[in-house]
């Protein structure tokens, strides 16, 4: 059962990364100045890293709740 859960988690992560990488492909809303290119690059990276940040926060919360439920609060 946990292998199926991991497979679903990995597939949804890959799908989120594909969707986020497709978001700004072909974006030509900037001029040829260096600052506009840097802003566009930062936007692209922030969109790309958003699913990874959500997953990292979820893992941290899972570890915290697991620690609370096993070591601090006795069932």
How many secondary structure helices (H) and strands (E) does the chain include? 2, 0
Percent of the chain with pLDDT over 90: 0
Query: Is residue 29 pLDDT above 60, yes or no?
Result: no
Could you give the angle at which helices 34-67 and 2-23 cross, rounded to 10 degrees?
A: 160
Q: How many domains does the chain have?
A: 1
pLDDT at site 44: 72
Flag whether pLDDT at 41 surpasses 80: no
Range of the domain at 52: 2-72
**Winning range, highest mean pLDDT, from 18-22, 35-39, 57-61:** 57-61
């Amino acid at each position: 059962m946990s292998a199926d859960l991991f497979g679903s988690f990995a597939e949804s992560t890959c799908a989120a990364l594909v969707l986020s990488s497709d978001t700004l492909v072909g974006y030509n809303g900037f001029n040829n100045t260096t600052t506009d290119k840097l802003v566009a690059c930062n936007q692209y990276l922030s969109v790309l890293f958003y699913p990874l940040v959500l997953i990292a926060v979820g893992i941290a919360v899972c570890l915290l709740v697991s620690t609370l439920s096993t070591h601090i609060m006795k069932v």
